[in-house]
Amino acid sequence: MNEVNLKVPAEADNTNPRLEVTLGDITVEQVDVIVNAANSSLLGGGGVDGAIHRAAGPELLECCRTLDGCNTGDAKITPGFQLAAEWVIHTVGPIWHGGTRGEPQLLESCYRSSLARADEVGAESVAFPAISTGVYGYPVQPATAIAIGTVQSAPTRVEIVRFVCFNRETLDAYRTFLG
């Protein structure tokens, strides 16, 4: 009998994650990974970054000190310490300058890089905040389109992606884009 080669490329295992949208505080999400919208120092800040550091406890900052920062568009992973989530992925979104300084590509890269880190630890569920749309000033509508479009098309084994919105405007944008 002829041998049949049943091997398929690794990427054929990937199906798109199921997308969920919720209103609330990402620090209490019961998922494998929560994503932090950090700055390039990775040493904490305001917004969701401050909330995650407060909820995870001081060990998170100690751990982040060893990471040597992070470039815009890139992502690094740490344990979640006192969080319900096992891991925190710290990504650095672009500061909005009007959209002509590569902001869309950099924001897309945040979502892709974060999913790549999640795959490296075998995470099945990931919660994202609306990266760059707070202090960094990225308009909510185009940022939402990039978040959803990137997660829908990224090669990943993550099964559930939950977008955690902190205000109504963001929630409405996600609901509109997801129909």
Asked if 37 interacts with ligand AR6 (CB under 6 A), we say yes
Minimal distance in Å, beta carbon 48 to ligand AR6?
4
Minimum CB distance to ligand AR6 smaller for 85 or for 164: 164
Which one, of 47, 90, 83, 94, lies nearest residue 69 by Cα?
Answer: 90
**CB of 48 or CB of 75, closer to ligand AR6:** 48
**Annotation says 172 is catalytic:** no
CA dist 22 and 61 (Å) reads 27
128 near ligand AR6, rule: CB under 6 A: no
Under the binding rule (CB under 6 A), the answer on residue 148 touching ligand AR6 is no
Among 49, 68, 74, 119, the one annotated catalytic:
49
Q: How many residues bind ligand AR6 (CB under 6 A)?
A: 25
Q: Which of residues 98-127 bind ligand AR6 (CB under 6 A)?
A: none
Q: How far is CA 165 from the centre of its chain?
A: 13
Closest to ligand AR6 by CB, 118 or 164 = 164
Distances (CA, A) of 142 to 14, 129, 152: 26, 15, 15
Half-sphere exposure of 37 (CA within 13 A, CB side): 27
For every residue of 79-123, DSSP letters joined together read E-TTSSSSEEEEEEPPPPSSS-SSHHHHHHHHHHHHHHHHHHTT-
Residue 19 main-chain phi, psi, to 5 deg: -100, 135
Q: Is 136 in the site for ligand AR6 (CB under 6 A)?
A: yes
Phi and psi of 103, rounded to 5°?
-60, -45
166 binds ligand AR6 (CB under 6 A): yes
Residues in contact with ligand AR6 by the rule CB under 6 A: 25-27, 37-39, 45-49, 51, 93, 129-136, 164, 166-167, 170
Q: Which residues are catalytic?
A: 49
